[in-house]
Chain A
Amino acid sequence: MNFLSNLISGLSLGSIYALIALGYTMVYGIAKMLNFAHGDIIMVGAFTCVVFITNMGMHPAVGVLASVVVCVVVGVLVERIAYKPLRSAPPLSVLITAIGVSYFLQSLAQLIFGTNQKSFPKFISLSPITIGQLTIKGESVVTMAVTVVIMAALTLFISKTRMGKAMRAVSEDKQAAELMGISVNRTITITFAIGSALASVAGSFYGLTYGFVGPYSGSMPGIKAFVAAVFGGIGSIPGAMLGGILLGVIENMAKAYISTELSDAIVFGVLIAVLLVKPTGLLGKKTNEKV
C-alpha cells in the first residue's frame, strides 16, 4: 500500500513536470532553441496567483485565469524582445540569451517580492480519498485529472487544427513551411503562448503541492522538466508527457526508498545514463547529419 501511495504522489509530481516539459519540447521542436527561462514562467504564474488570490482577495478561478493571461503575455514579450532578433544566430548565443532572461525574471521577482518565500493560497481543499488502506490526496487527483484533460486537448489541437498543422510543418522544415504560406513568426509566437499557458497551470499546481513560492521556485522544477523533456526525446510531444511522468515517479521513489538528499543527483544520473545509451532520448527522432 505504501508503494502504491508513493507511486500516486509520483504520478502527481510527474504530471506537473510533464506540463512544464511540454512547453520546453514544443518550443524546441519549432524554434530549435532551449528556452531556459521557461522554468521561471512557472514562478511568474505562481506569484500572480498569490497576488490575485491572497492580496486582492479574488475568487481562485479568477486568479488562475489571470495567471494564465500574465504568463502568456510575459512569454510572448520575452520571445518578441529577446529571442526574435536572434533567429539566425548561433545556438550558443540563443542559449546564453535564454539564461539571461531567466536571470532577469528571477531578479525582477526578487526586487518586487523580496527574497523570502510567500505562502501559496490553498484554494482547492478536497478531503483525501480513501480506498481500503490507500489514501490519495485531493490535490493529487485534481492535478492528474487536469493534466490528462490538457494533454488530450493539446494532442487534438496539434493533430486536428490548422494551427497545429502549421506547427508540425514549421518543426519539420522552417523554410519549406514559409514557402507554403505559413507565417513562421506567428507560429513561433503561438507556440510560446501555449507553452507559457501550460507553465502557468503547472505553477498553480506546484504552489498547491508545496505551499510556498519564492523568486527561485521556478528554477529547480524548470531544470527537472527540461531533464524530462530530454529524457523523453526533446521535440517530441508524447515524449515530454512520458518523460515528465517517469521522472516524477523516479524522483518520488528515490526519495522514498534511497535518500531524500540524493534524489536530485539520482534524477540527473538517470538523465546522463539515458543520453549515453540513447542520445536523442526515449522517443526522440534520430537525425542524420548532412554535409
Chain B
Amino acid sequence: MSAASQQHPISMKFAAFGLVLFWLMLAGGPFLWTVWGSFKVQGDFFSKSDWTNAIYGIRTTIETGGPFTGQGYSGAWIEQEFWRATLNTFIVVLCTVTISLTFGTLGGYALARSGRR
C-alpha cells in the first residue's frame, strides 16, 4: 500500500517519532503520575517536605503497612459516595446525548436538504 511516493526519509520519520513521543509524555504523563499517586496516602502524594515520597510511598508504608493502598479508592467510592455521583453523571449524559442528538440530527437534515439560504 505504501507507494514509493509515500515514503518519507528516515530522518523525517525519526523526527516525527521523537515529536510524537514528547507530546505523548506531555499528554499522558500527568495522568500516569496521578494514577500512581492514587495508591498512596495524602501525606505522600501531597507531601510538603519531599515530593519523592510519592514514588517510594514512605508515609503510606508507615500508615498502612505497605507502599500501595486502596484507601483512596474506598474513601472516594464508598465514604464520599462517588458511586452516586457516577450514577448521576451517567443519567445526565444518557439523556442529554440522546435528546440533543435526536433534535440536532433532525434539524441538521432539514437545513442540509433545504435549498434555503
Q: Do A and B bind each other?
A: no
